[in-house]
């Protein structure tokens, strides 16, 4: 009789526990779905919430998300530099992410504007106007966003993996590859890459010299610009070339230099008012070029644009604090590498940017966890990465192509987080031992833990 009653009680307890667990999971899924649907409006209603906290995800979710990123980039490194058939015989490998693209755009913008000013000074005619203005290319940095969806059992979280992280992880994997080319990969999103050997050629329009047997007037009429090439200049060299052309143009206008540029207009010198020196047998009267001379006016207008250009170069970005000229210097190295690509020496480019990262914390409760084990907590994490792998063989080459382009994702299953392999000092209530360090031991390598 007692045995039957005890068996009935045990069965009832088990049945109650199972029923409670099923009810908890069902309500958790319903609440989780409802919270997920409401999260976009909540996020949009508070646009400044993302700046309040850099992440809403538990640290365990972030660990798993970074592990997922490691898996994706390990596969990418194997694809680009391993034994995969898509591997190319590139002589250089360049990693491009949003900061690197911004640096490239900064240099391209700087170079185009500097070259335009050089041409404007060299070809300045009396009808020249003020010219354009200089656009200060601003680094675009993504704001950190966080959105939490909570319920009694599951909490979904998203967080931002900063742009340099993915590139730095990939750079480390490429440097550990068996490919000699990949072990010397270039990255310039945050840190400047090493100086490259040699300078690539870039397209340019240059003056062609006419025959020496013709008169000065005939030579000037025949002077035209023809397509040619010249060496790609660094930022300091380009600024020096611009300053030199500006100085030569001014000297030509003032009549102090004859052949600085064949198309620069010459100012008209007029005598300075005063006594007639010729009537007194003295030297010719002194002359000067008026500030209202059309050539001087054109120069002053263009010089205002030149000064605005220099001001923009040194103005710090309001978001990053980095001057425009600093970003342009970083971009020069990557642009030089890509410009140097040829059919015989192609460059492998790897572009990647983080599309999303986040995970889920699951907190499961039932009668058994309440009485015996405590909550069963598990975590998952995942990432989505935009990836493009391309081969650059030169601007005019037909061999430049995209080898791979896709949104690659990886998510870990729900799992518990293992304890750290080194548990030394994890339960220390303080670290006051740093003031009186003890000799290091195998169990306490730094010797500063309080036993």
CA dihedral over 239, 242, 246, 252, signed as positive or negative: positive
Owner of token pair 């080898």: 403
Residue 441 belongs to a domain: no
d(CA 124, CA 143): 45
Residue 378 belongs to a domain: yes
Count of domains in the chain?
1
Residue 35 belongs to a domain: no
Residue 434 belongs to a domain: no
pLDDT tier at 290, thresholds 50, 70, 90: confident
- Residue 255 near residue 266 (C-beta atoms within 8 A): yes
- Tens-digit pLDDT profile for residues 47-80: 333 343 467 789 999 999 999 999 999 999 999 8
Least confident of 7-16, 52-61, 79-88: 7-16
Which residue from 264, 240, 268 is spatially nearest to 252, judged by alpha carbons? 264
pLDDT tier at 134, thresholds 50, 70, 90: very low
CA 184 to chain centre: 19
Q: Write b or e for each residue in 111-127: b if 16 or more Cβ atoms lie within 10 A of its Cβ, otherwise e.
A: bebbbbbbbbbbbbeee
The residue-averaged pLDDT of 75-103 equals: 80
- Residue 167 near residue 103 (C-beta atoms within 8 A): no
| pLDDT at position 36 | 36
Residue 309 belongs to a domain: yes
| pLDDT at position 31 | 38
The residue-averaged pLDDT of 5-26 equals: 49
The angle subtended at Cα 307 by Cα 302 and Cα 310, nearest 5°, is 130
pLDDT tier at 359, thresholds 50, 70, 90: very high
Residue 229 belongs to a domain: yes
Tell me the C-alpha to C-alpha distance, in Å, between residue 92 and each of 182, 196, 398: 7, 11, 19
Calculate the average pLDDT of the chain: 74
Residue 272 belongs to a domain: yes
Collapsing DSSP to helix, strand or coil, 410 comes out as strand
Which residue from 119, 25, 7, 12 is spatially nearest to 369, judged by alpha carbons? 25
Residue span of the structural domain in which 401 resides: 50-418
- Tens-digit pLDDT profile for residues 235-262: 999 999 999 989 988 888 888 776 556 6
Residue 6 belongs to a domain: no
């Amino acid at each position: 009789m007692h045995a039957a009653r005890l068996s009935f009680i045990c069965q009832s307890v088990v049945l109650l526990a199972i029923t409670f667990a099923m009810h908890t999971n069902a309500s958790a899924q319903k609440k989780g779905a409802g919270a997920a649907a409401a999260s976009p409006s909540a996020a949009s209603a508070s646009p400044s919430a993302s700046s309040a906290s850099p992440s809403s995800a538990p640290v365990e979710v972030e660990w798993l998300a970074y592990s997922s990123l490691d898996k994706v980039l390990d596969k990418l490194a194997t694809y680009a530099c391993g034994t995969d058939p898509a591997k190319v015989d590139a002589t250089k490998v360049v990693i491009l992410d949003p900061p690197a693209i911004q640096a490239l755009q900064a240099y391209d913008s700087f170079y185009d504007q500097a070259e335009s000013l050089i041409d404007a000074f060299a070809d300045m005619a009396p009808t020249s106007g003020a010219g354009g203005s200089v656009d200060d290319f601003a680094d675009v940095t993504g704001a950190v966003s966080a959105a939490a969806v909570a319920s009694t059992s599951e909490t979904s979280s998203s967080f931002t993996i900063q742009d340099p992280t993915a590139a730095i992880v990939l750079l480390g994997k490429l440097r550990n590859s068996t490919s000699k080319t990949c072990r010397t990969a270039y990255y310039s999103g945050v840190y400047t890459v090493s100086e490259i050997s040699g300078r690539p050629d870039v397209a340019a329009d240059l003056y062609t010299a006419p025959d020496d047997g013709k008169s000065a007037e005939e030579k000037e009429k025949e002077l035209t610009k023809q397509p040619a090439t010249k060496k790609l200049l660094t930022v300091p060299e380009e600024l020096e070339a611009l300053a030199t052309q500006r100085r030569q143009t001014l000297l030509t206008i003032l009549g102090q230099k004859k052949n600085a540029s064949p198309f620069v207009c010459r100012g008209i010198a007029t005598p300075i008012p005063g006594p007639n020196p010729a009537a007194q047998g003295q030297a010719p009267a002194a002359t000067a070029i008026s500030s209202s001379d059309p050539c001087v006016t054109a120069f002053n207008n263009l010089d205002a644009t030149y000064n605005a250009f220099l001001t923009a170069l040194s103005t710090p970005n309001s978001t990053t604090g980095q001057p425009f000229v600093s970003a342009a210097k970083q971009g020069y190295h990557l642009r030089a590498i890509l410009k140097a690509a040829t059919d015989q020496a192609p460059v492998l480019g790897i572009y990647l940017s983080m599309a999303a990262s986040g995970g889920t914390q699951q907190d499961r409760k039932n009668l058994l966890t309440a009485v015996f084990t405590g909550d069963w907590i598990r975590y998952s994490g995942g990432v989505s990465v935009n990836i493009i792998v391309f081969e650059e063989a030169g601007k005019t080459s037909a061999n430049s192509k995209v080898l791979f382009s896709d949104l690659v994702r990886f998510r870990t299953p729900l799992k518990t987080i293992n304890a750290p392999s080194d548990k030394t000092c994890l339960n220390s209530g303080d670290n006051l031992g740093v003031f009186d360090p003890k000799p290091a031991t195998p169990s306490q390598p730094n010797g500063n833990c309080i036993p």
